[in-house]
Chain A
Amino acid sequence: GESVGLHLPTLSVQEGDNSIINCAYSNSASDYFIWYKQESGKGPQFIIDIRSNMDKRQGQRVTVLLNKTVKHLSLQIAATQPGDSAVYFCAEFSTGNQFYFGTGTSLTVIP
């Protein structure tokens, strides 16, 4: 269910490289997942979503992979740019109509 109040793990990548951010979700009954980006002091911003009947979805420069067997999501960002620096959260929407966030990862892009 709930995300826990852990301090955020960090990821640093060189500008132009690809980034992979991982997330483990908790509820095997969750059927809808969203990746959000959050900049300091602002609300989360939608990046991409995926339903449980899919294992991959692509957007502009981003790809989400879903592995239901191990309850794992990943977000791949191609050609990472300085503007991609932010905290990234996965969120799971459970059949109980609740919407929980994962721990989050702080991405820093090095110019």
Chain B
Amino acid sequence: GAVVSQHPSRVICKSGTSVKIECRSLDFQATTMFWYRQFPKQSLMLMATSNEGSKATYEQGVEKDKFLINHASLTLSTLTVTSAHPEDSSFYICSARGISGNTIYFGEGSWLTVV
């Protein structure tokens, strides 16, 4: 079946640095990718929706200059957390929607810890 891969699965970075998380669709072309963050025992909060080749659409309250999203190809989207702070520590999850249908597949998530 379709697989979405996220990398890294876990990352620790120092406060003030930037970290990039990759989301790849491995066996299908993803026209749309979604980025979420999730705090413990809470639901997934949609951060932004990105379509290949165009700018991401950010949800209200999400800083686009802080969470840079790039969807340069049909198989890769990246989320860069810039000038990370401890409050950015969270579980970040991407999902991808293929060209052929509405089924949406999720990556395994990336744990970010900012120290």
**For B105, what are the chain A residues with a Cβ–Cβ distance below 8 Å?**
46
Q: Binding site of A, secondary structure by majority: helix, strand, loop or mixed?
A: loop
Main secondary structure of the interface of B (DSSP, over half): strand
Most chain-B Cβ atoms within 10 A of its Cβ — which of A93, A101, A103?
A: A101
Min Cβ gap A35→B in Å is 12
Contacts A43-B108, A45-B106, A89-B43 given; indicate if A99 touches B34 (C-beta within 8 A). Answer: yes
Interface size on A, residues (CB 8 A): 29
Interface window among A2-10, A14-22, A60-68, A77-85 = A2-10
Against A, the Cβ 8 Å flags (1 = close, 0 = not) of B1-43 are 0001010000000000000000000000000101010010111
Q: How far is the CA of A99 from the CA of B59 in the complex (A)?
A: 11
Where the two chains meet, the residues of B that have a C-beta atom closer than 8 Å to any C-beta of A are 4, 6, 32, 34, 36, 39, 41-46, 49, 51, 57, 59-60, 91, 93, 95, 97, 102-109, 111
